[in-house]
A and B are shown apart, each in its own frame.
Chain A
Amino acid sequence: MSTTTATASPPATINATPPRQRGYWGNVGYRLRYDPVTLLFGTVLLLIILCAIFAPLIAPFDPYQESIIRRLKPPGYRGHILGTDELGRDVLSRILFGGRITLTMGILPVMVATLIGGGLGVLAGFAGGLINALIMRVMDVFYAFPSVLLAVAISGAMGGGAVNGMIALTLVFIPPLCRVAETATTQVRNLDFVDAAKATGAPLRLVLWHHVLGNILGPVLIYASSLVSVSIILASGLSFLGLGVTPPEPDWGLMLNALRQAIYISPLVAAMPGIAILITSISMNMVSDGLRSAMDVRS
């Protein structure tokens, strides 16, 4: 037997500065500060959002002002930095204004679906048994339809308009998010530390909050952020069918569809809304990836 009779006297205190007394979110912030890639894309995302908010102040032209003689002009033509569209409207102004609707339709449905779907998934994963079967089988029914078809069907049934479009998108995103949350919860639920927390006699909601949620946030967050770009594209699809945003409202998806016909005449202009969607979704994915690794205490 070892001679160290461990208990009673604490080991001699080493006069080192106590490492890390920042708390969980403090640590996340600390790690983010040393992640230039995430910081860069975070700045881009912030700029895009600020541009959308302050569009009336920075847009060089009225996004609705049409002009027959200035149709489909290339970038740089008479102050139109990104050129003009098929009705002679300034593309830059329309992208700036379009960001308001597009970002809302991209982010809001995913956020609501994360709350509802994630909550249902955690419930299903933690409760197991009959409740799990009930929730997951209902989700499977939604899975049976392609997401585009489902979004079209739901918003078609409820009628057009941006709000109904967002509700349709929310319903489309609930099943996959629920599935991801359920899988993650089922994995965490059977680990000993959850049993140990239950064995303290603590109420179940505290066990869930402190020991389960933190451990499933990563996968759910990553998946949700990848859905934002899908949401933007789906929203534009709905608009194209006349179910979401209706012309002449500026919307990136709608613009992409309209300019599609001009792709041989003015390819550079036609690509602009697509580039806006691309930059936004890449930034979104990079930021959430950085956030996930910053939230991983093991990194």
Chain B
Amino acid sequence: MDTSTTLAPIDARDRGGPRQPLLIVRNLRKHFPIRSGVLGRVSAHVRAVDGVSFTVMKGETLGIVGESGCGKSTVARLLMRLLKPDGGEHIFDGEAVGEAGGISVAEMRRQVQMVFQDSASSLNPRMPVQGSVAFGPIAFGTPRDRALAQARQLLAKVGLDPVLYGGRYPHELSGGQKQRVNVARALALDPRMVILDEAVSALDKSIEAQVLNLLQALRRELQLTYVFISHDLSVVRWISDRVMVMYLGEVVEIGPSNAIYETPKHPYTRALLASRPALDPDNRRLEAPVSGDPPSPINPPSGCRFHTRCPFAEPVCSARAPALGEGDVMAHLAACHMQDAASGHSKAVREIRH
């Protein structure tokens, strides 16, 4: 798309201009305490998110992939401030969230909305779906009638006939219809960014495709920025501009979608990609590329957290943690000693590359 000729309408809420990333996260941490004993003393921490950094540019879609329990959903809830981070910076359009001189959490939430994985439990069972969609605007002072009219328009936008479905209760809708309602609710406050936490994972394949197409169309129409979290690698590739791979609460690789899928750098990413079912029946993989479950995030392995399952692990891997490094937004980075010429790994790249 030629951005120089199509002038985007100026969003009054845009403060930093097009080059200012919409979201910057630096060193985000969330450690859940494990309490034990009668006194409830903290005996250990689950390091659900341990030093995650990334940026999201305006108008792009960042995909986040990883195994179950790698911290994807915790990242989503931290970005929404449904959980309080234990550390790190969280900057929305150039302003620190929830800090003096920045924007308040409530203000950030008006501009960032979330679609949850479980389409059933994320709608109030005692509220007609148009009421669920209209709740946010009503809470912010839109008159009830107007908010409900807007809600019906939004339902039409996501492909649900408001006359037929607006007054229904969640249990009267199918899973795909409920997820459309969830999308409509997320759009009700006219957000700039939508976090989609496994938003299509629970839907069957044909419905999933419909909802994905809907999301793409809405993104273009409303100039939204997405953070798309999923364990489904094909879906993430299809929808994302850039992809971030997480393992045990850390980012192991981040880069443009094509680069990640065509030339993955981190052994974990390679294993993850290899674990997709083969489309060629004569060329099926008979052994799993990564075996076993990921180690416990309570006592993560020393050094590189993947070294316990990595086929290329060497002493340096358990001794030192590899750094992700820094680069510009489109850089393809991997936290692996093999990508660092100075690491001492026998398979490390020979030259310092730029």
Which residues from chain A sit less than 8 Å from chain B, CB to CB? 1-2, 4-8, 10-11, 13-14, 16, 18-21, 24, 191-193, 195-203, 206, 210-211, 214-215, 297-298
Contact = CB atoms under 8 A, between A and B. Distances in A.
B132 A193 contact: yes
A6 B124 contact: no
21 contacts: A1-B209, A2-B213, A5-B214, A8-B157, A8-B221, A10-B159, A14-B163, A16-B164, A18-B164, A21-B167, A191-B122, A193-B124, A193-B132, A195-B116, A196-B122, A196-B185, A197-B124, A199-B80, A200-B113, A215-B125, A297-B126
A215 B126 CA distance: 7
A14 B161 contact: yes
B36 interface: no
A159 to B, nearest CB: 42
B341 interface: no
Interface residues of B, number: 54
Contact of A192 (B118, B135, B221): B118
Contacts of B163: 13-14, 16, 18
Given A14-B161, A192-B116, A201-B109, A215 B139 contact: no
A215 B109 contact: no
A188 to B, nearest CB: 9
B78 to A, nearest CB: 12
B159 A7 contact: yes
Given A8-B217, A196-B116, 16 more contacts: A1-B209, A2-B209, A2-B213, A5-B217, A6-B180, A10-B157, A10-B161, A16-B163, A20-B167, A21-B167, A191-B122, A201-B136, A201-B139, A210-B124, A211-B124, A211-B135
B210 A4 contact: yes
Contacts of A10: 156-157, 159, 161-162
Contact of B82 (A4, A16, A199, A297): A199
B167 A215 contact: no
A18 B109 CA distance: 34
B213 A298 contact: no
A167 B154 CA distance: 52
The winner among B135, B189, B210, B218 for most chain A CB atoms within 10 A is: B135
